Amino acid sequence: MSGTYIQEKLRPNHCFGCGPDNPYGLQIHSFWEGDEVVCRWTPKHYMTGPPNFLYGGISASLIDCHSLNAAIAWANRQAGHEDAFDPELFMVTGTMTIKYHKPVPMREVELRARIAKVEGRKYLVHTDVLSDGERCVSGEVLAIRIARMG
């Protein structure tokens, strides 16, 4: 994956999960790959839950932020703003459902998000967390477009 990642187009952004301006955050970098938004990310050693497995809350945070970034990128793509995002195309999480299929090993994971449906200001996003190609966690996020504050 090369080029400018989605989160870079949303600066300034101090979000814990996706903000490139938060030195303590997860620092995910998401890119378009066909019709999916993809991220490859490696956990830090202190993000463990059960021995040798990723803490489940981190998996949920990854799905939350990656899904929102996918929805924002999709909305910008549809509006013709793929190179420089419109700061007014901003979204927050309305609901999130997580299903843990198997523990996530403490090594690189791949996140894959797809826009399932758009209705007005609501964007339904399906995201999987994969390890070595196997789905470990799946999520469904309802992203809601709002006016950006401050």
Burial class (CB in 10 A: 0-12, 13-18, 19+), 139: buried
Per-residue pLDDT of the chain (150 residues; tens, 9 = 90+): 557 899 999 888 899 999 999 999 999 999 999 999 999 999 999 999 999 999 999 999 999 999 999 999 999 999 999 888 988 888 999 999 999 999 999 999 999 999 999 999 999 999 999 999 999 999 999 999 998 765
Token reading at 102: 């198997």
Report d(CA 127, CA 122) in Å as an integer.
16
| Domain-located, residue 22 | yes
| Domain-located, residue 26 | yes
CATH of the domain at 122: 3.10.129.10
The β-bridge partners of 3 are none
Q: What is the pTM of this model?
A: 0.94
| Domain-located, residue 1 | no
Domain that holds residue 62: 6-146
- Total domain count for the chain? 1
| Domain-located, residue 99 | yes
